[in-house]
Amino acid sequence: MKLKYIIASFIAAASVLAGCVKEDPVSTLEGLSVSNDYVTLAADEGASLSISVSAEESWTASVPDSKATWLSVSPASGSAGQNVSMTFTATASTAARSTEVHISMGGKTKIVKVNQEAPAGVEVPLATCKEVLEGPEVTYKVRGTCTRVVNTSYGNWYLADETGEIYIYGTFNAKGQYPKDADGGWAGFGIEVGDIVTVEGPKTVYNGTVELVDVAIVKVEKSLIQVADFDFAKLPPVDTTFNMVVTSKESPLLISSDSDWLQVVAVNADGSYQLHADANERTAERTANIAISGPTARKSVAITQEGVPATGASVSEIIAMEDDSQVQTLPSTIVVALTTRGAVLSDGTKAIYAYGNTAAALKVGDGVRMSAKKTTYNGVPELTDITDVFVDSEGNTVSHPEAVDITAVAGTYEASEAEYVKLTGTLSVSGNYYNIALDEFPEGDKQGSIVYPVDELDAKSFDGKKITVTGYYNGLSSKGKYINVIATRIAEFVDNPKGTLRNPYDASELAQLMLGGTIPEGNIYARGIINKIDNVNVSYGNAQYWLSTDGSAADLEVYRGFWYGGEKFTSEDQIKVGDEVVVYGAVKVYNGTPEFDAKNYIYTLNGKALPAGEGTAESPYNVTKAMDLVLGGETPAGTVYVKGIISQIDDVSMQYGNAQYWISDDGGKTYQLEIYRGKWFGGASFTSTDQIAVGDEVVVSGELTLYKEIVEFKANNVIVSLNGKTE
């Protein structure tokens, strides 16, 4: 029989104790509100602090502790409907002290806790974990048991007593150093799980978590329970039975496991404990904790089991395989989109649709190892005949590439992979069919189609509305009539939407939108005034600063932002508080803070769009900058120069001596600029179809324009550089 826990005892009998707890007055009271539940006064004579009190009925205030003569409260009463300023005044302290003020209304009582700090040099009294959790942000000394060690570089761990548990963030040695800088590292402190430790340090609250930060170790009392070292660092991934040797100066002991895969089986004749680990079918390793508890002592042992060695291929490799190949994805493959019939998997570079109910049962963010057959459906690679799916991780961060707007090229668009696209038209829902009528095809001979949308998209609510659907291309069907898209987002179409260069978000507006749970997808523009600059790091070329709409607050963080167009900062004075900027990049909420993610960059600074000289032969635009200017209504006048990599060639015409091709910054088909009827060097005609090739780096000169939502060079543009060479 396998047990999750076992009790070992050398004592024949145990007693059970029961006690009564006195009911405390409530800390909250309906109809009565105070501006602060906690008040901390300085150690000085006459130290005072005021709070506001408002009540629906008359009220009185008192100090129940007859020994707390050091504190006075004024006024000690108030009438219904009044907003009263109540002042707490203290005499000089000789040590830290605290008491309670009770505000009574209608037969009920509300508590305000009052603390006074100790004078400099006076020892801090011992507090409980509960007192730390509920008390003000002052320095505390606490004695408790080390329950978990989280980080040994800085000394982050948990300490608990019978009243609660607190997080220790940062542990200093006598030299004021973290463990990574201290002699002996973390081991030099001599702290193990189960040891009783006394610490002293200031309290803070970070993202709702109460912490004691940068504590000093006052005393370490070794646990009465010790566990001998195992003869392995990690368990193998197969079924394994092993022994654990425990020595203790007290009994009985309760031995338990916090994970079903690791069980305590029995007590051996020599007093050791027999444990069993089930086979791990996942590639990810896993850790369980064995808790050993005595009447007073505690000990915890972490046991890690290896995962099955990863075998398989990336999505990119699978796409290149022959059809009917039996494949397995790597565990780093992430679910990035769902339909009611399957899931889109990505390796961070390319994506593939897995068709089947097993895949449809996954969640976005799952890291999966899937065994299936690689096929092609509607011209796009796909996974079918799924035999096994193991979820190796959950809740992974999901990001999508920049979506290519294919609305204007719907008549000719076709891809051989699950590219990330967006399409605009009017949605018509009929049963299980979600078809999108495109404005340029009034006869309906070319339409979009949403593939089995999941309920979370609420697709039916958009029936009859003009929408923009964003998602993964899933091939052409019905002889090319339908462009199929696996949707990640459906939004009602908005002309000149927020987040574009022509209509950037206001920084404070964007921050509130994100805190409300709406995170704009892809790269966006936001305008704000710099309120605070944390750092301009010339070594790395990036900066960390904060924006708000009017510069009065730090609402939106710009994390590791770059200079114009992604160039590095070269001087700390390139930006200053009060500057107005438009920032371009992706956004996210991190630890409750709305922010531009790394690799964002400044698009305008105090109304200036680009540094002088850009767009010239000496400093050509990159494709992204050129397109953003045109799409933002700021098309450069006259002849400009743009540098890019040829991503697609439509035609090289010997009859007319020109070429039609596309360039992008990385040679991919995301965010492409069209070269329309382009000429060879100096305006000469093309004389051969192999004069240019996909992957060539070119600098093109001509006039930019926006034609049917496509950014392009006008006819008669010319190549001025090919793979770094000029003619």
Tell me if 27 is assigned to some domain: no
Query: Mean pLDDT throughout 241-256?
Result: 92
Model confidence pLDDT, tens digit, residues 608-621: 765 556 888 778 99
Same domain, 469 and 527: no
Q: How does residue 12 score in pLDDT terms, banded at 50, 70 and 90?
A: very low
Determine the Cα–Cα distance for residues 422 and 486; give it in Å rounded to an integer.
10
Same domain, 580 and 669: no
End residue of a domain, out of 90, 116, 142: 116
Tell me if 177 is assigned to some domain: yes
Determine the Cα–Cα distance for residues 177 and 182; give it in Å rounded to an integer.
6
Determine the Cα–Cα distance for residues 320 and 193; give it in Å rounded to an integer.
50
Average pLDDT of the residues of the chain:
88
On whether the CB atoms of residues 421 and 466 are closer than 8 A, the answer is no
Q: 301 lies in which domain range? A: 225-305
CB atoms within 10 A of CB 324: 11
Same domain, 111 and 134: no
Tokens (6 digits) for 271? 């007093």
Tell me if 25 is assigned to some domain: no
Omega prior to 252 cis, within 30 of 0: yes
End residue of a domain, out of 221, 248, 283: 221
Same domain, 137 and 211: yes
Which amino acid would we find at residue 657? Answer: G
- Amino acid 108: pLDDT: 84
Domain containing residue 414: CATH number: 2.40.50.200
All residues at 6 or more sequence positions from 85 whose CB lies less than 8 Å from its CB, including other chains: 50, 51, 52, 53
530-539, 571-580, 655-664, 696-705: least confident range: 655-664
Same domain, 601 and 520: yes
Over 60: is that where the pLDDT of 14 sits? no
Over 60: is that where the pLDDT of 579 sits? yes
Over 90: is that where the pLDDT of 682 sits? no
End residue of a domain, out of 544, 574, 605: 605
CB atoms within 10 A of CB 393: 15
Nearest to 672, CA basis, from 406, 423, 333: 406
Tell me if 398 is assigned to some domain: no
Which amino acid would we find at residue 431? Answer: G
- Amino acid 610: pLDDT: 55
Determine the Cα–Cα distance for residues 325 and 376; give it in Å rounded to an integer.
11
Over 90: is that where the pLDDT of 318 sits? yes
Number of domains in the chain: 7
All residues at 6 or more sequence positions from 607 whose CB lies less than 8 Å from its CB, including other chains: 580
Model confidence pLDDT, tens digit, residues 454-485: 999 999 999 999 999 999 999 999 999 999 99
- Quote the percentage of the chain above a pLDDT of 90: 52
- Amino acid 511: pLDDT: 96
Determine the Cα–Cα distance for residues 45 and 592; give it in Å rounded to an integer.
40
Tell me if 581 is assigned to some domain: yes
30-44, 46-60, 433-447, 688-702: least confident range: 30-44
Strand 420-430 with 404-405, pairing = parallel
Over 70: is that where the pLDDT of 530 sits? yes
19-28, 117-126, 456-465: least confident range: 19-28
Question: Would you state the torsion angle of the CA atoms of residues 161, 164, 167, 170, taken in this order, to the nearest 10 degrees?
Answer: -30
250-259, 381-390, 612-621: least confident range: 612-621
- Amino acid 42: pLDDT: 82
Decide: helix, strand or coil at residue 628. Answer: helix
Model confidence pLDDT, tens digit, residues 140-176: 999 999 988 888 888 999 999 889 999 999 998 877 7
CA atoms in the 13 A half-sphere facing the CB of 169? 11
Query: Mean pLDDT throughout 521-529?
Result: 90
Model confidence pLDDT, tens digit, residues 713-724: 998 899 999 998
Residue listed under structure tokens 């790394």: 598
Same domain, 189 and 141: yes
Residue listed under structure tokens 């979600």: 434
Model confidence pLDDT, tens digit, residues 179-198: 987 778 898 998 988 889 99
CB atoms within 10 A of CB 415: 17
Instruction: Give whichever of 395-404, 441-450, 492-501, 559-568 has the largest mean pLDDT.
Output: 441-450
Q: How does residue 285 score in pLDDT terms, banded at 50, 70 and 90?
A: confident
On whether the CB atoms of residues 348 and 360 are closer than 8 A, the answer is no
Same domain, 458 and 528: no
Q: How does residue 727 score in pLDDT terms, banded at 50, 70 and 90?
A: low
Tell me if 483 is assigned to some domain: yes
Same domain, 47 and 103: yes
Over 60: is that where the pLDDT of 25 sits? no
Tell me if 22 is assigned to some domain: no
Q: How does residue 106 score in pLDDT terms, banded at 50, 70 and 90?
A: confident
Over 80: is that where the pLDDT of 15 sits? no
Query: Mean pLDDT throughout 258-287?
Result: 89
Over 70: is that where the pLDDT of 73 sits? yes
Determine the Cα–Cα distance for residues 31 and 33; give it in Å rounded to an integer.
7
Query: Mean pLDDT throughout 408-437?
Result: 92
Q: How far is CA 128 from the centre of its chain?
A: 34
Domain containing residue 78: CATH number: 2.60.40.10
Domain containing residue 326: CATH number: 2.40.50.140
pTM for this one? 0.45
Determine the Cα–Cα distance for residues 299 and 223; give it in Å rounded to an integer.
7
Nearest to 325, CA basis, from 295, 344, 352, 303: 352
- Amino acid 4: pLDDT: 47
Which amino acid would we find at residue 609? Answer: A
Q: How far is CA 372 from the centre of its chain?
A: 31
Q: How many helices (H) and strands (E) does the chain have?
A: 5, 52
- Amino acid 78: pLDDT: 93
Same domain, 472 and 518: no
Query: Mean pLDDT throughout 313-342?
Result: 92
Tell me if 10 is assigned to some domain: no
Q: How does residue 134 score in pLDDT terms, banded at 50, 70 and 90?
A: very high
- Amino acid 23: pLDDT: 33
Residue 235 DSSP symbol: B
